[in-house]
Structures are given as C-alpha cells and as structure tokens.
Amino acid sequence: MYDSDIRSFLYKDFTKEPMYINDSSTIIVPEMPILNGYVRIDVAVINGLLHGYEIKSDMDTLKRLPRQSEYYSKVFDEMILITTEKYINEVKSIVPPWWGIKFYNKNGELKNSRYGENNNNVDSYSRLTLLWKDELIELISRYTDKKYKSKTKLALIDIILKEVPKDVIMDYTREIIKLRVNWRAVSISQLCDE
C-alpha cells in the first residue's frame, strides 16, 4: 500500500469521525511544517486539539521515525501513527507509549492497534514556532502595550514565553491556525462534500 492510498483512506475516515465532523471549525492541513519548517507532519487536524498523523506506508522505511517522533511530540496534543500490516509490530517500540497506532489491512479497513493518549508535555516554544510573525505580535499585544514589530520571530517567541501563560499559548496557536486565510488547509465540511 502506497502513501497516497493511505491518505485517501484516511481522509475518508476523517469524514466519519464524530470528533471532527461535529466541530465545523475543524481543518485538515497536509504536509504541515513544524519547528520553523525543519520537519513536516504528514497530516495535521486542528480543532480543539492539535492532532498529528504520521504515515508509514509499505514503501517507507522507519529510519527517520525516532527523530520524527521526538519532534512531533513537542508540538502535537495527540499523535497517531498510521501504517500497514508490514510495520505494525516494529513501530510500537519506536514511538512513545502515548501515541496511538492504527493500520490499514489489505482490504483498506482501518484497525486500531494501540489507543493514544493526550500529550501532557507539549513544548510551548515548539508550539509557538507554528505561528507567523504577525500572529506572534498579535498575541503579545494582548498582554503588553509595547510594540515589537522590529523584533525577530525568535525574539518574539522569547517574549511570549516570559509574558503569556502556557494554556493561553496552546489555545491561541490552535485558534489562530484555524483562522488563517489563503492557506492550504481544508475544512472538514469541504472534505465531507468531496
């Protein structure tokens, strides 16, 4: 099974997932860059949480998975590894125990191998790297009267880490990403219409 096959099945499964279809603000972002574009998650789904989906098809290797799992664990509230029967046993020892693991069988049916849990160790700095500079400035402006337009993105993140509570950072990043216009995200309602 190829990556494109898995994506096609996965997108169809998203349209049946109550936690996604019952929230009209849910968006799906394919190949979402994280950590300032250093890596990309195969599929991100954003609603009340930031869900990450990493795909390992029959054609992939697992060589990069240890590093990917480290990076994704810094950013996503929930992570699910989607694979095939080929890798189902091997991936369990590579990804953290809180990651969910699902696989597609030869009939294209999605099966659960391990239920995921919420990630309680999301890193605020890593989460803030998802934002654009103007989005960071907007967040700072809610907590201070100072103007920071001349600061670099990294300097803005440092200021936010000192001034803004972590729960606000987590909520703001999810909400602001969902509000972006002219971006490659697809709403769950658009996906359901296809």
Provide block-wise average pLDDT over 10 residues at a time, the chain (194 residues). Answer: 83 84 86 89 92 93 94 96 92 95 88 93 96 93 81 93 94 90 70 59
Residue 50: what pLDDT? 94
Q: Are 100 and 110 in contact (CB under 8 A)?
A: no
Please indicate, yes or no, whether residues 71 and 151 belong to a single structural domain of this protein.
Answer: no
Residue 72 belongs to domain with CATH number: 3.40.1350
Domain range for 135 is: 124-179
Residue 63 DSSP code? T
Can you give the pLDDT at residue 181?
Answer: 67
Q: Which residues contact 179 (CB under 8 A, 6 or more apart)?
A: none
Same domain, 86 and 133: no
pLDDT of residue 12: 85
pLDDT score at 37: 82
* Letter string b/e over residues 89-112, b meaning 16 or more CB atoms within 10 A of that residue's CB: eebeebbeebbbbbbbeeeeeeee
| Count of domains for the chain | 2
The answer to whether residues 103 and 62 belong to one domain is yes
> Residues 7, 61: one domain?
yes
The answer to whether residues 22 and 48 belong to one domain is yes
59 plus 96 within the same structural domain: yes
Say if residue 151 is in the same domain as residue 188.
Answer: no
Indicate the pTM of the whole model: 0.89
Residue 145 shares a structural domain with residue 95: no
Claim to verify: residue 53 and residue 129 sit in the same structural domain: no
Are 137 and 99 found together in one domain?
no
The pLDDT score that the predictor gives to residue 10 is 85
**Inter-residue long-range contacts of 62-68, CB under 8 Å, 24+ positions, other chains counted:** 62/87, 62/90, 62/91, 62/94, 65/91, 65/94, 65/95, 66/94, 68/39
Q: pLDDT value at position 180?
A: 82
